[in-house]
Amino acid sequence: MKMVTTVNFKEELVSKVASVDRIIETFLPGETTLSKDLAKAMNYSMKAGGKRLRPLLMAETFKAFYKRDWIMSGQEEGSVKVLWAFMAALEMIHTHSLIHDDLPALDNDSLRRGVATTHVVFGEDIAILAGDALLNYAYETAFTSFDTENADKERIGRALQILGEKTGLFGMLGGQSVDVKNEKKAIDYRMLEYIYANKTGALLEAAFMIGATLAGADRHEIFAMEGIGYKVGFAFQIQDDILDITGSEQELGKPLFSDDKNNKVTYVTLRGMEEAKRQVKLLTKEAVSALEEIAPGQEFLLSLIESLTGRKK
């Protein structure tokens, strides 16, 4: 595959992730009032880091269609403020899913983002509530964008619709339910594809689609970005399967062999390690070509997508 790596990709990535961290931090709930213990549990996992991939993809897609330079340079335009709220909201939804995914009733993991999982630190009861509260707070956060001066309310409405659909029954939660119901069963490729497209792919699709929507992209462009999100999401989950076997616990920040422990059929168990690696590269190549066609000249975004094939965490 031809790598389109930008000259200082790694430095740029570090600096952009730091910007995303700062943006997210401004939307986190204060740890005040009698419910401060819940807020602490919500903030614990949000502040533990993570790659911030979804908000970063959203911001870069926004930039591609907004046709202005990097949008974290102190510009205070309404559209940018709205984008920030949606970046934080998507990361909250993603973090909610991780808190719940780690619970004893689901994967029962005790390490996430390099630190003890929320239920280990705060107890199972508060971890359940923290996941619920983060999911709700995500929408509270996204709704605040209606208060932004000169905001385009129609775009906000459409972005909310995407956020809701991609999170719920016909997105991440639906996919996760099929995954959970079929643990320890010999599922076929069709079902595996459904699970991956939804439990992992849907939020990545949302990142690309919302970024494009808030920047004023048309329906055709948003549809194309959904397709790119599908491919990136599928490749991302296959790489997750690979890393669950070949990765390092320290780099991943979560335990290895989680799939084996839970008797899960994965792309690797179904098609083999070599085919899994080949498929990650193929899907990435297709996503990159589609992006070059619909939004030419997005070097950082292309490099970011390509970097996921070799990710170790």
Per CB under 6 A, residues contacting ligand GRG are 50-51, 53, 94, 97-98, 100-101, 106, 113, 172-173, 176, 199-200, 237, 240
List b or e across 177-209, with b for residues whose CB sees 16 or more CB atoms inside 10 angstroms.
eebeebeeeebeeeebebbbbbbbbbbbbbbbb
Q: Given the complex with ligand GRG, which of 107 and 221 has the nearer CB atom?
A: 107
- What is the nearest approach in angstroms of ligand GRG to the Cβ of residue 107? 8
- What is the nearest approach in angstroms of ligand GRG to the Cβ of residue 88? 13
Q: Given the complex with ligand GRG, which of 16 and 113 has the nearer CB atom?
A: 113
- What is the nearest approach in angstroms of ligand GRG to the Cβ of residue 158? 23
Q: Given the complex with ligand GRG, which of 141 and 266 has the nearer CB atom?
A: 266
In the numeric block, the tokens 């990136």 are attached to 232
- What is the nearest approach in angstroms of ligand GRG to the Cβ of residue 112? 7
List b or e across 14-26, with b for residues whose CB sees 16 or more CB atoms inside 10 angstroms.
eebbebbbebbee
- What is the nearest approach in angstroms of ligand GRG to the Cβ of residue 304? 12
How far apart, in whole angstroms, are the C-alpha atoms of residue 181 and residue 169? Answer: 14
Taking each helix axis from N to C end, the angle separating 53-66 and 78-101, rounded to the nearest 10 degrees, works out to: 160
How far apart, in whole angstroms, are the C-alpha atoms of residue 151 and residue 101? Answer: 35
The answer for residues whose C-beta is within 8 angstroms of residue 296's C-beta and 6 or more apart is none
* Selection from 95, 116, 141, 158 nearest residue 254 by Cα: 116
Q: Given the complex with ligand GRG, which of 48 and 158 has the nearer CB atom?
A: 48
Q: What helix, strand, coil percent values describe the chain, rounded to 5?
A: 70, 0, 25
Q: Given the complex with ligand GRG, which of 114 and 216 has the nearer CB atom?
A: 114
Residue nearest to ligand GRG (CB): 50
- What is the nearest approach in angstroms of ligand GRG to the Cβ of residue 244? 10
Q: Given the complex with ligand GRG, which of 162 and 173 has the nearer CB atom?
A: 173
Whether residue 115 contacts residue 250, with contact meaning beta carbons closer than 8 Å, is answered with: no
